[in-house]
Structure 1
Amino acid sequence: MKVHFIAIGGSVMHQLAIALSRKGYEVTGSDDEIFEPALTNLQKEGLLPVKMGWEGGRIHANLDAVILGMHAKGDNPELQRALELSLPIYSFPEYIYRESRDKKRVVVGGSHGKTTTTAMIMNVLAAAGKDFDYLVGARLDGFSQSVNITHAPVIVCEGDEYPASVLEKRPKFHFLHPHIAVLTGIAWDHINVFPTFDNYLEQFRIFIGMIEPGGVLIYNETDPVLKRLVDEHPAPVRKVGYGIPEYRIENGITLATLEGQSGPLKVFGEHNLLNFHAAFLVARELGMDARSFLQGMAAFSGAAKRLELIEKKEGLNVYRDFAHAPSKVKATIQAVKTQFPDRELIAVLELHTYSSLNEQFLSEYSGALDLADHAAVFYSRHALELKRLPLLPKDKVAAGFGKAGLAVVTEKEELRDWLAQQSYKNVNLLLMSSGNFDGLTIRDFLIL
């Protein structure tokens, strides 16, 4: 197989390129810019383009497939040449499906918890010695890649509702056709792509209809919107609801019970217990029992930036989390406060996505930070400029969250000053962002 990647430097694109090269395919690629860690990863595998930029001459009639990344624009000369030659052109998820047509496909979708649930499934399967391929949206301990394509009989995929490519505007998870599907919940997001909640909801309705006939849908029945959608959907699949399993907290450690078997978890919070239960139901569909699942989960400490403990001192834990959408922020805040009820919680949220920086969307955050003892919301002018959004008044942000005493800051020096003013005795500090706080490093936050 000869495969060419247009925009090979993407976070998952370069991982797929490496996986196919290791499988024995002849892989080439191009991009206008490639950043770390993709640059070093591609270089180590001998896949780094000799020259940056786009050249139509790289596309030839002997290619078996062209894989088009989200970064590529419609007028890309390599894309135009591939169209002229009538070559097979695939978005990333379309190609994943092509490689997994003969596998049992597990796809985890939903507005939140996708990465963690997928990671849980992957970790317990690996601990049990199962052979499987995977696609996940974060770095995971114990896995060298975030994409792996071999001859394994099963593939576990995180299913994203964002558009597949510049040519294919449908959500990525519409192309994967699972035998085992998970939906973790539905909370409106990506308003630049899905301008109304009904439009967003429709993508999940379509996804349910794309589950293979006779397959299974494992869904969060504690989410009333999702439950109603599943109940009303006529898909010819088995529907299995899940909720928060039996658990208790002892000395800051969560112990969960499944089918009469109990075990300790390193992750915590009701949202993670929901993820945990969903992952178990998938594992059971793949032949695992509760005891084996709990054994595999005992060492799981979470995916990168998902309630990740990044610093621990006497009387202080510092957590980093990818939370950015309202439901994710609220769930993360609740998890930390519930796990450590005797500690104060200082929460810092960065508004970084198009939705979160949009004045019309701010009301969705109402109450999201209420459980924090002290809270700050940060956003930068640079982020607004990149998304071509107008200036966002601080008073509008404060009104959207509706939290008394909320600090709203737009300069990183101002955020440093606010952090320095806090007391850090018997405290958890929670940093939530899908960005990087305008270049602030973890060291900057550890000025305490």
Structure 2
Amino acid sequence: MRVHFIAIGGSAMHNLALALHHKGDQVTGSDDSLFEPSKSRLDTYGLLPEELGWFTNKITPNLDAVLLGMHAKEDNPELLKAQELGLKIYSYPEYLYNQSKNKTRVVIGGSHGKTTITSMILHVMHYHDKEVDYMVGAQLEGFETMVHLTDDNEFIVLEGDEYLSSPIDRRPKFHLYQPNIALISGIAWDHINVFPTRENYLNQFEVFLELMKNGSILVYNEDDPAVKLLAEAATKPTRKHAYTVPKHQIIEGTTYLDTPEGDMPIEIFGKHNLSNLAGAKWMCQHMGIDEDDFYEAIATFKGASKRLEKITESKTSVIYKDFAHSPSKVSATTAAVAAQYKERKIIACLELHTYSSLNPKFLAEYKNALDPADIAVVFYSPDAVEIKKLAPVSKEQILEAFDRDDLIVMTDPTAFKEWLLKQSLDHSTLLLMSSGTYGGLDFEEVKKLVN
């Protein structure tokens, strides 16, 4: 296959490009900006564009497929040329479906937890040498790429993102996968720039369930009222399995899972992660892994990259960074850390970085999200608000939204860094939550806070 990528440098796109290259396809691509690690990884396999920009001469009639990334615009010159030539243009999820039409598609959906659950499933499969195709939204230990495609594997495990597919395909990605086995972890309004109301967002999950294959299997989190309601009403699945937070206990900072063989220590913690584990267990069982083998493998799972990732620790302090940015994720992550380290001071820092989190209409969703922390900080950049062409956000709006009188609100990256590096972490846990970088914070420097 001859495949050309428009906007090859994206996190998802460059991983798919690498996967197709490893599969034996002839891959080319273009982009107007390239950053690490995409740049080096593409260069390693000879896929790095020779120069930045869009070049219509790369779009030729002999291309079998053109893949269009979200970074490109509708008036992209290469896209217009491909349309003019009548070439087959795919979005990222559409091409994944095209590559897996004859496989059993296992799709993990939900506003939160989907990367972790997908990662857990792949960890268990890898541990037991079970080969599967996959697409996951984080780099995993032991896996070279975030995407893997073959002609032979029976299963493909797909993280089902509800965001849009491409600039010319406004369907949510997970609407294109038509799962044989599906999971929904939880539903909490997100992506307000695309789904302006809670009802509109909820409807995307209804459609997802309607697009499952007849006679499929649905696994769902019954602790989430919205998920439970939709799952019980779904007609496509003929088998449904509900899960909840499994029995466990925390002893001296270690979580022990209640299993048929007794209490088992695990690397992860927090009710949301334990709930994710319960969902992953059902999915693995439907993929041929029995319960005992699942527990043996999951005991060594340390978490997905940037998901409650421990970056350093000593006997009396520890620092975590987490991709959490939506209200439900921030609340769950802060509560999990506070429960795990009850005897320590909890310092929680949150950067408001996404379109949704910086939208004044959405801010109220964060009410009480940071309450479990002893010290709570919210950082945001007024410049980022301006770049995103959003209404200005004031300190007073942040304080009112989070409903916490002692909340520290910062807008200057240098001031935030100086404040952070002055903190004593003795008998403390520092939690840094963001999908950004706090204006360029050096995490290696932050590590020095722990002796």
**Which TM-score band applies after superposition, normalised by the shorter structure?**
over 0.9
Looking at structure 2, the residues matched to 258 and 222 of structure 1 have their Cα atoms a distance apart, in angstroms, of 20
**What amino acid sits opposite 1:271 in the alignment?**
H
TM-score, structure 1 as length reference: 0.97
Higher mean alpha-carbon deviation, 362-371 vs 236-245, is at 236-245
Task: Tell me the residue number matched to 1:72.
Answer: 72
- Provide Cα deviations, 1:29-76, integer angstroms capped at 9, x if missing partner: 111111111111111101111222112121111111111111111111
Task: Tell me the residue number matched to 2:243.
Answer: 242
Task: Tell me the residue number matched to 2:158.
Answer: 157
Task: Tell me the residue number matched to 2:413.
Answer: 412
Looking at structure 1, the residues matched to 22 and 310 of structure 2 have their Cα atoms a distance apart, in angstroms, of 33
Name the SS of the counterpart of 1:291 in structure 2. Answer: helix
**What amino acid sits opposite 2:274 in the alignment?**
L
Looking at structure 2, the residues matched to 347 and 212 of structure 1 have their Cα atoms a distance apart, in angstroms, of 43
Q: CA deviation at 1:404?
A: 2.4
Looking at structure 2, the residues matched to 433 and 316 of structure 1 have their Cα atoms a distance apart, in angstroms, of 20
Name the SS of the counterpart of 2:54 in structure 1. Answer: coil
Task: Tell me the residue number matched to 1:82.
Answer: 82
Looking at structure 2, the residues matched to 35 and 208 of structure 1 have their Cα atoms a distance apart, in angstroms, of 36
Task: Tell me the residue number matched to 1:233.
Answer: 234
Looking at structure 2, the residues matched to 49 and 424 of structure 1 have their Cα atoms a distance apart, in angstroms, of 45
Identity value in percent: 50
Q: CA deviation at 1:383?
A: 1.6
Task: Tell me the residue number matched to 1:373.
Answer: 374
Looking at structure 2, the residues matched to 257 and 447 of structure 1 have their Cα atoms a distance apart, in angstroms, of 36
Looking at structure 2, the residues matched to 283 and 36 of structure 1 have their Cα atoms a distance apart, in angstroms, of 33
Do 1:105 and 1:178's aligned partners in 2 also have CA atoms closer than 8 Å? yes
Do 2:421 and 2:446's aligned partners in 1 also have CA atoms closer than 8 Å? no
Whether 2:100 is the aligned partner of 1:100: answer yes
Task: Tell me the residue number matched to 1:173.
Answer: 174
Task: Tell me the residue number matched to 1:281.
Answer: 282
Name the SS of the counterpart of 2:171 in structure 1. Answer: coil
Looking at structure 1, the residues matched to 147 and 261 of structure 2 have their Cα atoms a distance apart, in angstroms, of 35
CA RMSD across the alignment: 1.3
Do 2:417 and 2:441's aligned partners in 1 also have CA atoms closer than 8 Å? no
Q: CA deviation at 1:388?
A: 1.3
Task: Tell me the residue number matched to 2:392.
Answer: 391
TM-score, structure 2 as length reference: 0.97
- Provide Cα deviations, 1:314-361, integer angstroms capped at 9, x if missing partner: 311000001100110010011111111111101000000111111111
Q: CA deviation at 1:262?
A: 4.5
The count of corresponding residues between Structure 1 and Structure 2 is 448
**What amino acid sits opposite 2:426 in the alignment?**
K
**What amino acid sits opposite 1:136 in the alignment?**
V
Gaps of 5+ in 2: none
Looking at structure 2, the residues matched to 199 and 259 of structure 1 have their Cα atoms a distance apart, in angstroms, of 42
Higher mean alpha-carbon deviation, 313-322 vs 200-209, is at 313-322
Higher mean alpha-carbon deviation, 118-127 vs 373-382, is at 373-382
Whether 2:422 is the aligned partner of 1:427: answer no
Name the SS of the counterpart of 2:444 in structure 1. Answer: helix
Task: Tell me the residue number matched to 1:21.
Answer: 21
**What amino acid sits opposite 2:7 in the alignment?**
A
**What amino acid sits opposite 1:209 in the alignment?**
E
Q: CA deviation at 1:249?
A: 1.8
- Provide Cα deviations, 1:212-262, integer angstroms capped at 9, x if missing partner: 111111111000111112222333432211100111222221121345565
Q: CA deviation at 1:419?
A: 2.5
Task: Tell me the residue number matched to 1:31.
Answer: 31
Gaps of 5+ in 1: none
Do 2:139 and 2:304's aligned partners in 1 also have CA atoms closer than 8 Å? yes
Higher mean alpha-carbon deviation, 208-217 vs 233-242, is at 233-242
Looking at structure 2, the residues matched to 187 and 126 of structure 1 have their Cα atoms a distance apart, in angstroms, of 31
Do 2:218 and 2:237's aligned partners in 1 also have CA atoms closer than 8 Å? no
Looking at structure 2, the residues matched to 333 and 307 of structure 1 have their Cα atoms a distance apart, in angstroms, of 10
Looking at structure 2, the residues matched to 285 and 223 of structure 1 have their Cα atoms a distance apart, in angstroms, of 22
Task: Tell me the residue number matched to 2:127.
Answer: 127
